[in-house]
Amino acid sequence: MKLLLIHTGGTIAMAPGPNGLTPKAGLLESAIAQMAKGAEVVTCAFDPLVDSAEIGPRHWNQMLDWIDAHPQLPVLLTHGTDTMAYTGAALSQALMGSGRRVVLCGSMVPLGQGGDAEGNLRLALSSLGGEGVDLAFDGRLMPAAGLVKFDSHAADAFRSQPQYQIAPPACRRFDNRRLAILTLGPGLPVAALAAMLDQLDGAVLRVFGAGTIASDPALLECLRRAVEQGKRLRAVTQCEAGGLEPGAYAAGAGLWSAGVENGGSQTPEAALVTVWLG
């Protein structure tokens, strides 16, 4: 077996240090050598390894560059759990239609600490056939396009929400546009939302239920004005599952008339990637 290992960092390859867990070079590679004896592993690693809280668009572009540079190899990508859902969505959409195989892997407890790391890594190594982007975690292989980290400590920290099919993106890299996920919660001052949108090129809006927001005319005007200025706004539900249903409630009419896009069943992470690649 020959594979491409992209090692970004994360808990799976950390060891105790004087100030807490910290990345340990060589830990992951040694574990893979033991689990997949005889495998030919081409390793591309971030230098230095990073906590997943640091990962963003430039890191996704680096991952994609490495994947493109090794077109015949299945990919094992190790990653911290905190932004796993973002990277899963980014790679799923950027690689759509490419036929590539990428298996993401991480853990809640580092290798050698009697936790979940070894099991997750074995599952990932045994799942490198076929195509598509998945996460190997807690004994399950889950589509990475709609990952949700719903628990900050448990071994079964992830679920995968079904995502509707979208067309492969025209661009497969992430630019430097200023984008964000904004929650339209009760009492959000319209002036605060306007100030945030003024600093952004686009945003994902987390709205209520099946697609409702407050009927405040100032709020609707704020959204309409942002769309007219060329800012791409895409709405998703604040619920974990179920998605949006335009037309179900009159309280959502102003959202769609302002020109906000319907993100359907997309997770916030997936919608953000769609805005970035669109």
pLDDT at residue 164 in the model: 85
Closest CA to 222 of 241, 195, 186: 195
Residues 36 and 26 sit within 8 Å (Cβ to Cβ): no
User: What is the Cβ-side half-sphere exposure of residue 172, based on CA atoms within 13 angstroms?
Assistant: 15
Please state whether beta strands 202-207 and 179-183 pair in parallel, antiparallel, or not at all (unpaired). Answer: parallel
pLDDT at residue 20 in the model: 86
Per-residue pLDDT of the chain (278 residues; tens, 9 = 90+): 899 999 999 999 999 889 888 888 899 999 999 999 999 999 999 999 999 999 999 999 999 999 999 999 999 999 999 999 999 999 999 999 999 999 999 999 999 999 999 999 999 999 999 999 999 999 999 999 999 999 999 999 999 999 988 889 989 999 999 999 999 999 999 999 999 999 999 999 999 999 999 999 999 999 999 999 999 999 999 999 999 999 889 989 999 999 999 999 999 999 999 999 98
pLDDT at residue 278 in the model: 86
Q: Please tell me the distance from the alpha carbon of residue 278 to that of residue 273, in angstroms, as a whole number.
A: 8
Helices (H) and strands (E) in the chain, counts: 8, 14
pLDDT at residue 45 in the model: 97
pLDDT at residue 214 in the model: 95
pTM, 2 dp? 0.96
Closest CA to 213 of 181, 247, 246, 184: 184
Greatest C-alpha distance within the chain: 66
* Locus of tokens 């609707």: 220
Measuring CA to CA, how many Å separate 6 from each of 49, 122, 187? 11, 16, 43
At the topology level, CATH places domain 179-277 in Rossmann fold (3.40.50)
At the topology level, CATH places domain 2-160 in Rossmann fold (3.40.50)
Q: Pinpoint the residues of the chain covered by CATH 3.40.50.40.
A: 179-277
Residues 111 and 12 sit within 8 Å (Cβ to Cβ): yes
Please state whether beta strands 20-23 and 40-50 pair in parallel, antiparallel, or not at all (unpaired). Answer: unpaired
Q: Please tell me the distance from the alpha carbon of residue 147 to that of residue 140, in angstroms, as a whole number.
A: 13
- DSSP β-bridge partners for residue 147: 160
**Three-class DSSP category at 173:** coil
pLDDT at residue 126 in the model: 97
pLDDT at residue 91 in the model: 98
* Locus of tokens 């195509």: 131
Which one-letter amino acid corresponds to residue 29?
Answer: E
Q: Please tell me the distance from the alpha carbon of residue 182 to that of residue 89, in angstroms, as a whole number.
A: 18
* Locus of tokens 């719903």: 150
Residues 26 and 34 sit within 8 Å (Cβ to Cβ): no
Q: How many C-beta atoms surround the C-beta of residue 244 within 10 A?
A: 23
The structure tokens listed for 28 are 């992951």
**Three-class DSSP category at 147:** strand
